[in-house]
Structure 1
Amino acid sequence: MIDFWLAAGLLLLVALSFLLIPVLRSRRAQREEDRTALNVALYQERVAELQTQQEEGVLDAAQMDAGRAEAARELLADTEGVEAPRVSRLGKPLPLLAAVLVPVLGLGLYMHYGASDKVELTREFSQAPKSMEEMTQRLERVVAAQPDSAEGMYFLGRAYMAQDRPADAAKMFERTVNLAGRQPELLGQWAQAQYFADGKKWSDKVQALTDEALKADPKEVTSLGLLGIAAFEGERYQDAIDYWNRLLAQLPPDDKSREALQGGITRATEKLVASGGKVAQAPAAKASALLKVSVDLAADLKARVQPGDSVFIFARAISGPPAPLAVKRMTVADLPVTVELGDADAMMPQLKLSNFPEVQLVARISRAGKPTAGEWIGRSQPLASSTTAPQTLTIDSPDK
């Protein structure tokens, strides 16, 4: 910040120089004008003295002319090189007044329209905060300096929640939603903050927020966790188990919160059993598909391919998107080869073998390394994705 003010001061001095230099020049011109007037007065006094001496008979006419010429030469020598005075229409007071007002107005305008607060915030955020309170204070200044920053409001809301200030967090998440739109994650955070701000009392507002969040994204983790908490507090233990199981399925295996969540499910189960209830079994998960296929090259094609040519072995849906459901990449040198195609080989999570009842196996040779186009191909007949019997596929036809 000191560097900024030093630079601003230097620029201010440059601006003042344009105002003060003309004033200094006018003073110099005034001094030169005064000196010229003095020389003229001395010349006139010398001429008068010569005339007095002539009248007294001390000097004759020739001496009088010589003395007058000598005084004129001295006057000319003293005034030689003096510039003609410049006449300023502004006068002296106006530049001096401007020199005072320019820095005052400049500072005032900068403090009103400038970004000194943002410069200071940038400097502060270059250093790690020493405490959560300091981080919260920084975020509060960010929101004050940038009231249209949805990111700043979101992180300030999270900071308020970490400091057990749910009422402030709820207001901040509401402002974030108004700026960034009704995104499922933001709605879930808002609902959670509102729930704790209301003293852990379920309300129509919280219900509406969680319903909207889960309608847009059934896997929204904050809403699932909150609904589980509310169900547990309301002694609806089966609902709590269901919500938390859904949340558990979304968390990665190494997530640290899995243990606490599993503990909550266990406690809900114990309370349900103790109250005479019975834990409802979750519906059985759909078995994942796994196709085993052996691929070989027709004998008459072996002399027409190169060992380094790419071989793509994949399954695609008979009724569905044309994109492959599961893919393995090999080379001609690997043939014959046996591979397994399953849900783990899916190109996209929603395009799994188990999601489509009937598929076709394809093996394609592509010298360009493109799975969508090549030189030779082999195709199977349609078969069920649940097939467990090994399949055989021969590459024997031109790829058209």
Structure 2
Amino acid sequence: MIDFWLAAGLLLLVALSFLLIPVLRSRRAQLEEDRTALNVALYQERVAELQTQQEEGVLNAAQMDAGRAEAARELLADTEGVAAPRVSRLGKPAPLLAAVLVPVLALGLYLHFGASDKVELTREFSQPPQSMDEMTRRLERAVAAQPDSAEALYFLGRTYMTQDRPADAAKIFERTVNLAGRQPELLGQWAQAQYFADGKQWSEKIQALTDEALKADPKEVTSLGLLGIAAFEGQRYQQAIDYWNRLMEQLPPDDQSRVALQGGITRATEKLVASGGKVAEAPAAKPAARLKVHVDLAAELKGKVQPGDSVFIFARATSGPPAPLAAKRLTVADLPATVELGDADAMMPQLKLSNFPEVQLVARISRAGQPTAGEWVGRSQPLASSTTAPQTLTIDSPDK
């Protein structure tokens, strides 16, 4: 903050200089006016002296006129270049009063409407926190300075959860939902915080939050995990196994929480068997999609492309997100070529071929190496993602 106030002080001095310059100029004008008055007085004194000498007979008329002319020339020489005095309507006290009031008023307005607290927070966040408590204090100040920031509220809620303050976290997540909308992830976080704030007592409010989250996103991980915990605590072991198995499907293979989650499934299975129950078989997993595509270049285009041009081959949902579900990259020199597009080639884990019933195959040539825009393209007709027959795709049209 010191450098900020130094810069502000420098700007203030510049501003004050514009106010004080008229005062200094008025003083200079006053000095020039005083000097002119003195010269006039000396001239009048000289003329009176010449008249006395003429009356005493020392000077004749011609000498008198010559002396008067000489005195006049001296007066003109002394006053030459002196500007006419300017009369200020404001008066001398006005600039001085403004010089005092302007910085005071500016400081008051900045402290009221300015963002000194946000500047200080920015400086603080540029340095790593020394402890979790310090991080919490920073986030609390950030929320106080920006109460409409859903991002700051979300991180503060997550921090409260790590500090075992679920009641505070539940209030923060509720504010976040009111600001950012009823997004599935936020609803899941709110439900989880409320569950622990209520002493692990399930309630209609928590049930409604998790139901809403899973209705919007059946793969919302926080809600799945929470429902599994609640089912386990309520000795509904089969439901706990089902929820946790659904959660396992959403986690990456190298996720550290998979070990703990598998341990929970094992304990729930043991308790279910010990109570005389039988674990229901999980529904058969949907087979992974795999499309085999033969890609070639139309004969009339072979003279219009270069061997090093990029070729992007991908499948995208006919009804769904525009992002590719699976993609491969080749060059024109590799054509013709046969590639396979499957779930293993997914751009994002939640966007797999097998999750969409119908897709379209696209092959694009891009000299700039951009998958979203190029010079030439080939597209297939919509087909089922479960298709097993080999497909042929020819690049034959300008990319528009």
Same fold (TM over 0.5): yes
In the TM superposition, residue 344 of structure 1 has moved relative to its aligned partner by: 4.8
Relative to structure 2, which stretch is displaced further, 72-81 or 368-377?
A: 368-377
- Cα offset for 1:86? 0.8
Change (3 A) 1:40 1:282: same
Cα offsets for 1:282-329 (capped at 9, x unmatched): 233345577999999999999999999999999999999999999999
Which stretch of the first structure deviates more once superposed, 186-195 or 370-379?
370-379
Change (3 A) 1:206 1:71: same
- CA distance change for structure 1 residues 320 and 24 in 2, over 3 Å: closer, same or farther? closer
In 2 relative to 1, CA 132–69 (structure 1 residues): closer, same or farther, beyond 3 Å? same
- If the length of structure 1 is used for normalisation, what is the TM-score? 0.75
Matched, 1:292 2:295: no
Partner of 1:118: 118
Provide Cα deviations, 1:54-99, integer angstroms capped at 9, x if missing partner. Answer: 4455555555444444443433333222211111111111111111
SS in structure 2 opposite 1:155?
Answer: helix
Structure 1 residues 205 and 380, CA gap change in structure 2 (3 angstroms): closer
Cα gap change, 1:80/1:224 in structure 2, threshold over 3 Å: closer, same or farther? same
Q: CA deviation at 1:36?
A: 1.7
Report the CA distance between 1:224 and its aligned residue: 0.7
The range that moved more, 116-125 or 69-78, is 69-78
Query: 1:16 deviation in Å?
Result: 1.4
Report the more deviating stretch, 349-358 or 80-89.
349-358
SS at match of 1:255: coil
Task: Tell me the alpha carbon deviations over residues 89-143 of structure 1, each in whole angstroms, 9 at most, x when there is no partner.
Answer: 1111111111111111122222222222222222222222222222222222222
Q: Give the superposition deviation at 1:280.
A: 2.6
Could you give the per-residue CA deviations for residues 129-178 of structure 1, whole angstroms, max 9, x where no partner exists? Answer: 22222222222222222222211111111111112221221111111111
CA distance in 1, matches of 2:85, 2:298: 107
For residues 373 and 336 of structure 1, the distance between their equivalents in structure 2, rounded to whole angstroms, comes to: 21
Higher mean Cα deviation, 364-373 or 351-360? 364-373
Rounded to whole Å, the distance in 1 between the matches of 2:48 and 2:304 is 128
Q: How does 1:1-400 map to 2 (within 5 A)?
A: 1-56=1-56, 59-288=59-288, 344=344
Deviates more, 1:207-216 or 1:350-359: 350-359
Inter-partner Cα distance in structure 2 for 1:122 and 1:341 = 46
Whole-angstrom CA distance in 2 between matches of 1:322 and 1:61 = 112
- Let me know the Cα RMSD of the aligned residues: 6.4
Distance in structure 2 (CA, Å) of the matches to 1:179 and 1:29 = 63
**Pair 36,385 (structure 1): closer, same or farther in 2 beyond 3 Å:** closer
Change (3 A) 1:28 1:397: closer
Q: Structure 2: how far apart are the matches of 1:283 and 1:109?
A: 67
Closer/same/farther in 2, CA of residues 340 and 122 from structure 1, 3 Å limit:
closer
In 1, distance between residues paired with 2:350 and 2:4? 54
- Shift in CA distance, 5/366, structure 1 to aligned 2, threshold 3 Å: closer
* Structure 2 unmatched runs, 5+: none
- CA 1:119 to 1:356, structure 2 compared with 1: closer, same or farther past 3 Å? closer
Range 161-170 or range 118-127, more displaced:
118-127
Q: 1:96 to 1:251 in 2, by over 3 A?
A: same
Greater CA deviation, 47-56 or 216-225?
47-56
Report which stretch shifted further, 266-275 or 282-291: 282-291
1:67 alignment partner, SS class = helix
Deviations 1:340-377 (A, max 9, x none): 88765689989988789999999999999999999999
SS state of the match for residue 202, structure 1?
Answer: coil
Residue 241 of structure 1: how far off its partner (Å)? 1.7
Greater radius of gyration (CA) = 1
Paired with 2:71 and 2:372, the residues of 1 have a C-alpha distance of 110
- Post-superposition offset of 1:240: 1.6
**Higher mean Cα deviation, 317-326 or 120-129?**
317-326
SS in 2 for 1:201: coil
Distance 1:79 1:309 in 2: 86
Number of matched residues?
A: 400
Are the structure 2 counterparts of residues 149 and 29 from structure 1 closer, same or farther at C-alpha, using a change threshold of 3 Å?
same
* 1:58/1:227 CA distance change after superposition, 3 Å: same
For residue 90 of structure 1, give the secondary structure of its aligned residue in structure 2: coil
With 226-235 and 365-374 compared, the bigger mean Cα shift is at 365-374
Q: Counterpart of 1:306 in 2: which secondary structure?
A: coil
How many Å separate the matches in 1 of 2:197 and 2:80? 90
Deviation, structure 1 residue 248? 1.3
1:24 deviates by 0.7
Sort the Cα spacing of 1:302 and 1:20 in 2 relative to 1 into closer, same or farther, 3 A: closer
1:331–1:171 distance in 2 versus 1, CA, 3 Å = closer
8-17 or 366-375: bigger deviation = 366-375
For residues 384 and 102 of structure 1, do their structure 2 counterparts lie closer, same or farther at Cα, with a shift above 3 Å needed?
closer
Q: Distance in 2 between the 1:177 and 1:230 partners?
A: 23
TM-score, normalisation: structure 2 = 0.75
For 1:177-203, what per-residue CA distance to the aligned partner results, in whole angstroms no more than 9, with x for missing partners?
111111100100011111111122111
- Structure 2 Cα separation of the partners of residues 302 and 57 of structure 1: 124
Distance in 1 separating the partners of 2:146 and 2:99: 34
Fraction of identical pairs, as percent: 90
Post-superposition offset of 1:390: 12
How far 1:380 sits from its partner (Å)? 16
Q: Give CA deviations for 1:216-246 in whole Å, capped at 9, x if unaligned.
A: 1111100011111112222222222221111
Alpha-carbon spacing, 1:13–1:243, altered in 2? closer, same or farther (3 Å):
same
Q: Secondary structure at the match of 2:252?
A: coil
Matches of 1:179 and 1:37, distance apart in 2:
75
Summarize the Cα distance change of 1:329–1:8 in structure 2 as closer, same or farther, 3 Å threshold.
closer
